[in-house]
Structure 1
Amino acid sequence: AYITENTDEWTKFSADFEYFSEETPEYINVIISAGDYFGGADAVGEGNSLVVDDVRLVYDNEEVKSEKYAGYLNIYCKDLNPDDPEGTLAKNSAATIEIIPTGENTCTFKLPNFALGDGDGAMQLGDIVVENVTVTGKDGVKTFSGVTKDLKLMSDMILADVTIKGTITGDVADMTIDVIWTNSPLNEEGTPIYVTFTTNPVTSGITDITVDNSNAPVEFYNLQGVRVNADNLTPGIYVRRQGSQVSKVLVK
C-alpha cells in the first residue's frame, strides 16, 4: 500500500490486508516507511519524512472480534426485594455475555438486555457495557477487571457504576458484575445490585445429594440467552437445561 501525496496536515490512511489462505496468522509484521523499505539504500529519496500516529489494527469480522458465552445470572438486591432475606431478584436466569477484544490486553464487556426479575414483570434496564476492561492471561486462564462510571440504563432514568471481575477458562466463564444504582431513591448512598454470571448453573453447596433430573422439564436457550420452543428449533447450537443438568446441543 503506497502513500503518493505530500501533505503538511494529518491525513487518515488505511490499507487492507489480503489473506492468501484459510490459515489464521499467528503474527502480523507491519512496516511503515518513508521510502521503499525493501529497495535498499539507493531507493530512499532524499528529504523524505513520515510522521505516524494512532496506528490501529481493525477487524471487521464480528466472529473474529467477539466471543459469546451462554450461561446463567444470579441477581441479588436487598433494597429492591426487602421481603427476601437474601434479596433474590433472579436465580439461574439464562443470559449471554459478550467479550469484544479492543487491544492486546483490553476488551469491552457486554451483558445485553439486563433485567431485574423474571418473566413479564421484569424491570428491563438495558445493556450493561464496560469498556477498557483489563485482560491478563496465565496458564490458560483469562482474568478480567474493569470499572465504568455513570452508565445510563432504562432510557437514561438510571445512572450506575459498574465493576467487572472474573475469569474465563476455555468456555467456562465465572464473572461478578457489581452494579451500584447511584441515583436511586431507595438509598442515598446508592443501591447495590450484586450480579454473578456463570456458564454452569449455581447449585446447592451440598454435593453429596443425588438429584434425579429425569422428570424435570427440558428447556432450550439460544446463544443470546433467549428461551426457545423445543418443537421449533432451527439448525444451530443451543443450551439444553433439564433440572440441574446443562449441556450444549447441536441441531442439524
Structure 2
Amino acid sequence: MTTPMNIRAALVTGGSGGIGRAVAERLAKDGIAVGVHYAGNKASAFDAVAAIAAAGGRAIAVGGDVAEPGDMTAAFEAVEAEFGGIDVVVNTAGIMLLSPIAALNLDDLDRMYRTNIRGTFVVSQLAAQRVRSGGAIVNFSTSITRTQFPTYGAYAASKGAVEAMTMVLARELRGKEITVNTVAPGPTATPLFLQGKSDADVERLARAAPLERLGTPEDIAEAVAFLAGPGRWINGQVLFANGGMA
C-alpha cells in the first residue's frame, strides 16, 4: 500500500471500545491514520476500523497484551509498516477492580497493576523510543486520584503511578519535541462505568460536576485530540477532563 510521506499516525491502546474507540475516531477526523489496538475483542476493533474507513479515515487493527513487550513491539511495528511511522501514542487500555482496601483480593491488585502500571510503562517505553519528533504521548489516569471515592483505593493508586511516570518521561524527552501528558476523566458514560450502578448512583455522580451530567467518550476524546494536535505548549501535565468536579 502506498502511504503519503507526510501522514501522521497514531496507536491507540484499548481502541476497540469505550473511550479508546472515541479517541481513535476523533484522531481520524483530524486526518491521523490510526492503529486501533485490542486485547481480547478483535471483532470490536475491526468494527472501529470499518467505521473510521467509512468516514474517510485510515486505520488498521493491532492486537496484543499491553504488558508484554513482544506483543506491543509487534503492534508498533505494524503501525509503522502501514503508515510510515508513529507520531501519537494514546494509552487508554486499563482495568478497574473495586473493593475497600481492607477487603481487596491481592490477586485483583496484581492483575490491575499489571495492566494499568506495567502496561502503561511498556507502551510508554516503546513510545519514547519510536515516536517521531513533534509527536505526543497521552496516558490515562482518573479524577478519582482527587475525589478519593471509597472502594477506588487500589485503582486510584495504579493511576497515581501513571501520573508519576508521565511527569518523569516528559522531562526525559527534553530536546526531542515530544510532549507527554495524562488525561484524567471524571465519571464518563461508558458501559464499563454504568455496569452495576443503580439509577440513583448514576444520577448522584452526574450531579457531582457543576455541568450536572456525566461526561461522554467524545468529551474525553476532544481533550486527547487537543493534546495530540494544537496543544504543543502543554507538557508534563495532568488534564482533568471532568466537567469541573473538585
**Structures share a fold, TM > 0.5?**
no
Query: Which is richer in strand?
Result: 1
Query: Which is richer in helix?
Result: 2
Higher RCO, Cα 8 Å, sep 6+: 2
TM norm structure 1: 0.26
